[in-house]
Amino acid sequence: MSQKTLTANEIGLLWTQYIQNSMAIPVLEHFQLTHRDAEIQPLIKLAKEIAEQGVNDCGRFFEEADLPIPNGYSMDDLNPNAPKLFTDAFMLTFLEHMGQAGLTSDGFSLGASSREDIRNFFSERIRKQDQLYHECVNIGLEKGIYTRPPQIAIDKETEYIESKSYYHPFSKRSLNAMEITHLYENIKNNTIGEVLCQGFAQTSKNKTVKEYMKHGKKMSIKHRKIFSRLLDQSGIMTPMVSANFLTTLTDPVFSDRLMMYLISVLASSGQGNYATSSAVSLRYDIVFSYQKLILETAIYAKDGLDIMIHNGWFEEPPQAPDREKLIQ
């Protein structure tokens, strides 16, 4: 096999990297043009460098393998003259989320890649995502924007589960640490989704996109409240930042196709997060809640895909040849 040949895994992973990184660049450019806090400037710059390097390297890998380079997104998807849409507090929170999500996706991509240069590419991305995440958390703590997860008191001795009531849906014991972790992280993720949907709804002039974003906001609020209620039932407060995340801007900032794709990425990652959360939860009422929300999120994501396909906004991923068609 030629060194320049890519496996199906690598083609799919690099294609996704190219599309998502090219989508991130206009968003980060808006951050760069409108931020006011000098302390977050280096973080925006680092995140943008990660995205730009991702686009350049993925494009080079495709070119060397004699494969078409995706179209992705560009500065044409940004109104560079648009005033500030997101507050600096949200920019920092979004950058933290980018670093956290990048560590997860790049870690998976590394484990699914074979070629050494591709593995080195993802290893370097993990190193930079790690740096971005640490710096965002540190600055967020200094500014009081980052909120620490809940704290709990635990027994001094280890114990073993003695009864099936531990996971029974009608015997609602207090939450264990892993269940708290996932509930809290899903609250944070839905808060980001809520803010983005509100911001996109108030700036889009497309009625269909606006309605889709309004529905996404309502769904994010609903999910966040479900998770908060589960924490509250165990006497665990949900610490959330009180910072304002949006301005009152109604002028268009991003193209409708970019906004739709960004929300589709969040919906997709949300389904994955809920599936993981369901797998580690040992209270069946929580498992049932996650399974219901996975279905609701999948339907919402499918509706978004329909909108993108109808408008010619969804770029088709690389796919294997249809062998049945070839023999007709």
Give the model confidence (pLDDT) of 168-210 as tens digits: 766 778 899 999 999 999 999 999 999 999 999 999 999 999 9
Residue in the structure block whose two tokens are 């994955």 = 272
Instruction: Indicate the residue type of 303.
Output: D
What pLDDT was estimated at residue 328? 76
Is 26 a member of any domain?
yes
Give the residue from 19, 21, 47 showing the smallest Cα distance to 35. Answer: 47
Is 298 a member of any domain?
yes
Is 162 a member of any domain?
no
CATH code of the domain covering residue 303: 1.20.1260.10
In the chain, the number of structural domains is 2
CA 214, 216, 222, 224 dihedral sign is: negative
Provide, rounded to the nearest whole percent, the portion of the chain with pLDDT above 90: 82
pTM of the full structure:
0.92
Same domain as 172, residue 134: no
Same domain as 194, residue 122: no
Residue in the structure block whose two tokens are 């560009």 = 74
Task: Give the SS3 label for residue 4.
Answer: coil
Is 31 a member of any domain?
yes
Residue in the structure block whose two tokens are 């109604």 = 250
Same domain as 222, residue 175: yes
Query: Which residue range is the domain that position 116 belongs to?
Result: 1-146
- 246: β partners: 86
Cα–Cα distance between 308 and 262 in angstroms, integer?
Answer: 12
Same domain as 131, residue 14: yes
Task: Give the SS3 label for residue 234.
Answer: coil
What pLDDT was estimated at residue 153? 83
> Given pLDDT bands bounded at 50, 70 and 90, which one contains residue 108?
very high
User: Among 25-29, 74-78, 157-161, 189-193, which stretch is predicted with the lowest mean pLDDT?
Assistant: 157-161
What pLDDT was estimated at residue 1? 41
Q: For all residues of the chain together, what is the average pLDDT?
A: 93
Same domain as 228, residue 175: yes
Residue at a domain's end among 94, 111, 146: 146
- Nearest 5°: CA angle at 14, between 9 and 18? 155
- 306: β partners: none
Residue at a domain's end among 98, 115, 146: 146
Same domain as 175, residue 104: no
Cα–Cα distance between 71 and 256 in angstroms, integer?
Answer: 16
Same domain as 190, residue 76: no
Distances (CA, A) of 79 to 73, 119, 153, 257: 13, 36, 50, 13
Same domain as 173, residue 246: yes
Is 327 a member of any domain?
no
Residue at a domain's end among 82, 112, 146: 146
Give the residue from 121, 132, 174 showing the smallest Cα distance to 152. Answer: 174
Same domain as 26, residue 89: yes
Cα–Cα distance between 78 and 72 in angstroms, integer?
Answer: 13
Is 161 a member of any domain?
no
Same domain as 293, residue 238: yes
Tokens of 128: 């930079």
Same domain as 42, residue 114: yes
Cα–Cα distance between 292 and 227 in angstroms, integer?
Answer: 13
Same domain as 309, residue 254: yes
Is 96 a member of any domain?
yes
Dmax over Cα atoms in the chain, in whole Å?
Answer: 70
Is 260 a member of any domain?
yes
